[in-house]
Structure 1
Amino acid sequence: MNEDKVEPRSTEKKSLGKWVQSHFHPRPADDDGPQDWWVASTAIPLIAATSAPLANLMSIIALVMPWKSKLLGRTDSSGAQVQELMRDPRWCIALNATSLACGIAGNIFLLFNFTRTMRYIIALPASIILWCLSTAILIGITAATHIYDSPVPPDETYSQAYWSAVIAAALYFLLTVILMINMWGYVRGHYPQYFALTDGQRTLILQTTAFVVWLLIGAAIFHAVIDISFADALYFSDVTILTLGYGDITPPTSVGKGLVFPYAVMGIIILGLVVGSIHDFARELQYDNVVRKHVERKRQATIQHSISLEPGSEAPHLDFTPKNLRKSGKRSTIDAFSLVGRPKVLIMREEKDRFDAMRAIQYETVLFRRWYNLVLSLIMFGIVWTCGAVVFWKLEDITYFDALYFGFCSLLTIGYGDFTPTTNASRPFFIVWSLISIPTMTVLISEMSDTIVLAFKHATSVFADWTVLPHSGKYRKFLRRFPTIYAALQRREEKRRVAQGFHVGVDDAENGTSHPHNSSEHPPARSIEELASEPDTASGNASGAASSGFQLAQQLAYAIQRTTKDVVAGDPKRYSYEEWVAFTRLIRFTDPSPDRVEIHEDDYGILNWDWIGKTSPMLATETEPEWVLNRLCESLIRYIDIQARNASTTRDEDEPTLRKQREIRFEDE
């Protein structure tokens, strides 16, 4: 009978264990495998770390001020009613302090998690539990106050501290929920047990913490100097740093006015750092998780389109991946075609087509990234603006249109001062809303500068080129499209030159010899036939003719000098196909691979690539000058290494001859 009782329990344990193993796959901290759920793994921890200090700030206001106030029946210069704060019961203060302590402790555990001072599996549940306790305590005391100790209207009302506690409870609850989502992603095995944040993202956490601390310092200072409540002092500090300047609260004394100078300057600097870091973080996430996927989709679609255009179903000669090239023992895509007897001109035409296809994907991606960022910023701006207007419409005695007007003027930091938050509920909400909305507006303006402003600037430049500031040869290039008109103008120009004593004919400038694009730094565009007729130096190596090797080494040094200038200039330059052909020859002429066996990457770096494949330079995170400079330097290292080995071999071969000469000289002596 005992066995009959134990067997069902053991079966339940086994089934439960199988269920847990099938649904939960936690990964260790040293797991470097692929990660998904990028919002949960990266964005959520950063949102939690930057929002937690703001929740602590609201909780501090709820602690240092009473939750009820008595209306004195008059208004101040800002239009707000003058109030007298009432004392809170001791149990409310004690529970409020406990909630603040739990909130700060949860923030500390989260920071320990970021710095990996404490294990993820310990620190994250601790933050979740502590913030959950803070939420529960704040909800409990606000509900108890409303039920058992609510203000008696019309002379009493809730102060800003009460509404700050409500906002703090909402923020703590939001933090708890998003961290639970992050925890769920970990136990499901979507990412390992640590926060994979970059140095810039960690810096953003420190900057937001410093900004909140600076707001608290300003609130403490102006609370004492201007003689206003702590909540109003925090509101004044926020308005000052955000450069809104409503004028509803101003420092009346010389001491207060003098303190505004250093406080505003330091606050604006910290705010600028925070906004810049938020902008960089948003762009980084979009590039890694949206733009790169867009490029990959376009690249795969282009490859499939190229394959579908080929006669036959397989089209094996279009598979340019280094893996397949290594299997076939071929050195590069050009050599792969050469070995099957295809003309070099046709091969280079197909290479040029692949180059142009990838360049088109690049240009399309730039437009996609710019407009995607702009549309996303507009959506975020619209949500923050309209939802904030709804709250101000309900909290203030104004229409919804006036609330939209007030929110728009605040977002643009115009600050007319005709509408300002005056009620006890709207000012704490305004502090949180402004700290979210102003950076959103700044990012939107930045994205507009990358799209609309850039397009307007380009349009004005084109207009200036054709009107008030024409470039040299601008009209000549346009008139070449009309041979009859251009020939007549040429004859007129020749007659004028004869009358003035100049040579008849086209001068060097018109021939293009003095054109800047035809100099050594900007080679002229050449046809595929001209490029194919040049000797293929990539198929040889540095052990060939000495004069050819030294000449290529000299060209390699000049190319390194040129690309270094392009890198230092900081302009994201893109090279033409003709320039890439020249760079490719200089990179591959030092290829040490024996018997024409393809080596995609050796000890010194990348040797071969495919324009539209995953190894394309156009998919690199570096700029094209940086990528080319690295490959050229690797080629120079290979050249020096080969020359050193050749010199060592020559010394070894000459050693017997030198030894014999020394012996003959010794016998003669």
Structure 2
Amino acid sequence: MNDPGIDGPINDAADDLENNAYESIREQVAEEEHEFLDHTRWYLASTISPLIAGTFGPLANAFSICALVVKWRLYVPPGQDETTGVFLKDPAWLIAINTVSLVCALVANMSLLLNMARRLSFNIAQPITIVGFFVASTLLIALVCVASSSHFRLQPAASHALSQAYYYAIIAAALYAVITMLMVLTAYGAWKKRYAKFKLTVSQRTLMLQTISFAVYLLLGGLIFSKIEGWNFLDGVYWADYTCLTVGLGSDFPPKTHLGRSLLFPYAFGGIVILGLVIGSIRSLILERAKAKIDARMTEIGREKVLEKIDDHKRVVTLGLWQKIEFVHSGLSELERREQEFNMMRRIQSVMQKRRQYMTLLLSVLAACILWFGGATVFYATEGTPQGWTYFTALYFSYTSLLTIGYGDYFPNSNSGKPFFVVWSLLAVPTLTILISNMGDTVVKSFADFTIWLGSLSVLPDESGIRATVKSNLAKVRQSNLLKRDASLPNKNQSNTAEKPEDNDIPKDPKSHLDSVALNRLAKHIEDEELWEAEEAGERGDALDRDIHFYHFVLAREIRRLMRDAAAAPPVRYPYAEWAYYLRLLGQDEADPKRHRKPPVKPHRGGGGGGSLRHRNTTTASDHRPDLGVAGGAPQEGGGGGSSYSWSWLGTRSPLMGSKTEAQWILERMSATLEAELRKMRAKGYSRETRERPPVSMEDLLRGKRA
């Protein structure tokens, strides 16, 4: 078998683009395809890694400050514990190294933020960020190792202990090390040219500024209230943390002075507001965008698996253990073949979206359990001996703290337990936010739907009565099962109208001038009084000029409609009939096989000859790259009112595979097509002889009505 490759089509396309009015559209499509394929695979490195670094970097700086401003060693008088110990002076070398570590981390964090704000180039900022965090982490790790020795704590060991500052240094060192690894991953992806450095939106950068504000708010609150109430500064930070997070442990640090209680009113309210902003940003900026990227990536994976598992002999495509789709092997028109691909891609989207929902729910539950049981393990280790906690007590305390119940009957009291509680409770904010959001997409939604269904059968029946409601629900279940079984088969009686049921009955005869959807939509336009230019041209006997004006008017009117759809929430999903209509307006007739390609697949060990979904020339490994659907296929041809590249609904150039919504995808190309049409009319050499017949015309409409 021959390898179709990609060099030939690319070279042919390059020759065609030299004098083509739609070159910008082609370049945009190629750029979007490359960005979609690489950015979804490298989303962790390009977006999540710098976002985590920019968010936790300021918190690590705050913990470094806690480790610097408070002495590390304590003298414990006889009969007392470490919480009442007397601070001992730190060696000068420890303060110096600690200061250098903090300065390096601050410079690294500032470099990262300037890069994200487009004030410093990536090539300059990234080395500074990586080296700065690496040096800060290394120095703190060295200090922690030295401080853990018995010589540093002086003798006798039983009379000396380490303060909270020592444990804050451990936390800061760990965070710096994690940030360094994330930044190395980001730099590696950029070095491999998988993305154009990293691009964070204004809203994502706002999340980092909110985190900085929250860290500063904690430190200032801890400083002010420690001075007012006579606490140790780090005890003040611990108090500010569980106050702003509304845990309310009821420990031995309640405000007792009149001034402290008075300042609590604005301070607690301000902390809750900032925390609410952070949670809202996490929910809207990280969760929604990450879900879209994960959906896109899983759809791509599902598409590749489908193409690998096509069984021509059984005419079955396997999507999962219980997910199988039948497809028609032969005897289909081009329009039916395309609709079959479209329906199969829709099914892949649906299956992968549900799979993503329950996968992310499982991961978020696992993360919450790790935070719960892992936190209980640490609290048992830190508070077991001083306070006599059992592991169950630690589990109980961790659970009530995670849910911000805060009975106050148990609370950490050791110098190691308090710093750990601060960082542990801060990690709980994004973890529980993600868990609640994922539960809302799955468990809560299912429970809400079940409640509504149960109410319709009992206390809140439909207007037609309980019996009619039961029959309607049973009919919906049967229809759902039927769609799951034969989702990819082209329906001879009606089109895929799950999203917009008013558009149906699309004819499958490729020779017909217009299908019913296009006929109805164009008829609405032609009745408009604004078509005076087209009608005037028709009265002059220039039918082609009339059709061109009509085509431009239709494009403008559809753009107005698409703008409304692009702003809709949830995003509009068009049935195949409407897609065929829009693609016709773009000059890509779904009934024209010259503009399409069949998706290449890997050879199936049980498969036979090439089917309607199998590319006959796909036999070598070069076609098995992730960009399935791009290599090989039908030749590219120009003409029509849009770009002339060929693609498959199951390929990477499929509109259902992009990162944009369907309305946005069509709107951008519709606008570019109208712009190209108008530019072509103003170009030199344009005349009556060089005019081209548009994809749709009033003549088509009239003949369609007569048919």
Is the TM value for this pair above 0.5? yes
Q: 1:472 to 1:615 in 2, by over 3 A?
A: farther
Mapped partners of 2:646, 2:170: distance in 1: 62
Match 1:400 to one of 391, 416, 424: 391
Q: 1:170 offset after TM fit, Å?
A: 3.8
Aligned counterpart in structure 1 of residue 346 of structure 2, from 359, 367, 375: 359
Deviation at 1:445, TM superposition (A): 0.7
SS in 2 for 1:223: helix
The CA deviation at 1:385 is 1.6
SS of residue in 2 equivalent to 1:455:
helix
In structure 1, the residue matched to 2:162 is 158
Q: Does 1:617 align with 2:604?
A: no
Gaps of 5+ in 2: 1-33, 316-329, 476-496, 523-533, 535-541, 596-634, 692-707
SS at match of 1:119: helix
Corresponding position of 2:562: 563
- Alpha-carbon distance in 1 for matches of 2:473, 2:250: 63
Structure 2 SS opposite 1:392: helix
Instruction: Give the aligned partner of residue 479 of structure 2.
Output: none
Deviation at 1:583, TM superposition (A): 3.1
- State the alpha-carbon separation in 2 of the partners of residues 431 and 391 from structure 1: 13
Letter in 2 for 1:628: I
The answer as to whether partners of 2:137 and 2:177 remain within 8 angstroms in 1 is: yes
Corresponding residue for 2:267? 263
Asked if the contact 1:600–1:608 (Cα under 8 Å) also holds between the matched residues in 2, the reply is no
| CA radius of gyration, larger in | 1
**Partner residue of 1:116?**
120
Deviations 1:333-383 (A, max 9, x none): xxxxxxxxx99x833322222221111111112102211211111121122
Structure 2 residue 65 is the aligned partner of structure 1 residue 65: no
1:391 Cα deviation from its structure 2 partner: 0.4
Q: Deviations over 1:195-249 (max 9, x none)?
A: 5242355444333323222221111221222221101110111112211112222
Report how far residue 472 of structure 1 moved: 6.0
Amino acid at match of 1:439: P
Q: Distance in 1 between matches of 2:340 and 2:222?
A: 64
Alignment partners' CA distance in 1, 2:585 and 2:456: 37
- CA pair 620-309 structure 1, distance change in 2 beyond 3 A: farther
Cα distance change, pair 552–455 in 1 and its aligned pair in 2 (3 A) = farther
2:222 counterpart of 1:219: yes
Measured after TM superposition, the shift of residue 403 of structure 1 is 1.1
From the two aligned structures, give the one with the greater helix fraction.
1
From the superposition, tell whether residues 553 and 470 of structure 1 become closer, same or farther in structure 2 (CA, over 3 Å).
Answer: farther
The structural deviation recorded for 1:651 is 12
Letter in 2 for 1:83: T
- What's the offset of the Cα at 1:50? 3.3
Whether the 8 Å CA contact 2:153–2:160 is kept in 1: the answer is no
Residue 626 (structure 1) aligned with residue 631 (structure 2): no
Aligned to 2:601: none
Task: Write the mapping of 1:323-402 to structure 2, written as runs, cut at 5 A.
Answer: 346-397=333-384, 398-402=389-393
Structure 2: how far apart are the matches of 1:181 and 1:598?
39
Question: 1-side partners of 2:392 and 2:474: how far apart?
Answer: 58
Give the corresponding residue for 1:440.
431
How big is the alpha-carbon RMSD for the aligned residues of Structure 1 and Structure 2? Answer: 4.7
Displacement of 1:84 after TM fit?
4.8
Amino acid at match of 1:567: A
**Pick from 278, 295, 308: which aligns with 1:274?**
278
* Shift of residue 432, structure 1, vs aligned partner: 1.2
The answer to whether residue 55 in structure 2 is matched with residue 53 in structure 1 is no
Aligned with 1:308: secondary structure?
coil
1:243-642 correspondence runs (5 A): 243-248=246-251, 249-279=253-283, 280-281=285-286, 284=289, 287-288=292-293, 290-304=294-308, 308=312, 346-397=333-384, 398-471=389-462, 523-526=502-505, 528=507, 535=514, 559-588=558-587, 599=637, 610-637=648-675
How far apart are 1:590 and its partner, in Å? 11
Match of 1:101 in 2: 103
**Does the Cα contact within 8 Å between 1:389 and 1:407 map onto a contact in 2?**
yes
Distance 1:557 1:60 in 2: 60
Once the two structures are superposed, residues 380-399 of structure 1 have per-residue CA deviations (whole angstroms, 9 ceiling, x without a partner) of: 11222211111001111311
Q: Is the 8 A contact 1:160 1:428 kept in 2?
A: yes
The separation in 2 between residues aligned to 1:65 and 1:416, in whole angstroms, is 30
Report the equivalent of 1:27.
none
* Amino acid paired to 2:263: L
Conservation of the 8 A alpha-carbon contact between 2:38 and 2:195: no
Assess if the C-alpha contact under 8 Å between 2:364 and 2:438 holds in 1: yes
Kindly state the Cα deviation for residue 427 of structure 1 after the two structures are TM-superposed.
0.2
Q: How far apart are 1:270 and its partner, in Å?
A: 3.1
- Conserved? CA contact 1:138–1:169, under 8 Å: no
Unaligned 5+ residue runs, structure 1? 1-30, 312-341, 484-516, 654-669
For 2:417 and 2:245, locate their aligned partners in 1 and report how far apart those are by CA, in whole Å. Answer: 17
Q: 1:304 to 1:162 in 2, by over 3 A?
A: closer
Find the aligned partners of 2:344 and 2:676 in 1 and give their Cα distance.
Answer: 31
How far residue 588 of structure 1 moved from its aligned partner, in angstroms, is: 3.3
Q: Which moved more, 1:410-419 or 1:547-556?
A: 547-556
- Does structure 2 retain, via aligned residues, the 8 Å contact 1:106–1:127? yes
SS of the aligned residue for 1:588 comes to coil
Q: Which amino acid aligns with 1:535?
A: L
Q: TM-score, normalised by structure 1?
A: 0.68
Aligned equivalents of 2:241 and 2:234: distance in 1?
A: 11
Residue 651 of structure 2 aligns to a residue whose secondary structure is coil
CA distance in 1, matches of 2:176, 2:464: 66
Quick one: distance in 2 between partners of 1:524 and 1:178? 49
> Does 2:172 align with 1:168?
yes
Letter in 2 for 1:217: L
User: SS in structure 2 opposite 1:214?
Assistant: helix
Q: Aligned residue pairs: how many?
A: 546
TM-score, normalising length: structure 2? 0.65
CA distance in 2, matches of 1:192, 1:365: 24
Using the alignment, how far apart are the partners of 1:89 and 1:482 within structure 2?
76
- Paired with 1:628 and 1:463, the residues of 2 have a C-alpha distance of 40
Deviates more, 1:124-133 or 1:398-407: 124-133
Matched, 1:230 2:209: no
Distance 1:48 1:447 in 2: 23
Once the two structures are superposed, what CA deviation does each residue of 1:413-454 show, in whole Å capped at 9, x if it has no partner?
A: 121212211111100111111111222111111111111111
Which has the bigger relative contact order, CA under 8 A and spacing at least 6? 2
Q: Which aligned pairs between 1:73-84 and structure 2 lie closer than 5 A?
A: 83-84=84-85
SS at match of 1:86: strand
Counterpart residue identity of residue 88, structure 1 = K
Q: What residue is the counterpart of 1:198 in the other structure?
A: 200
Alignment deviations for residues 563-590 of structure 1 (CA, whole Å, 9 cap, x no partner): 3333333222222223333333444399
Displacement after TM superposition at 1:96 (Å): 3.7
CA distance in 2, matches of 1:238, 1:430: 9
**Is the 1:560–1:633 Cα contact (8 Å) retained in structure 2?**
yes
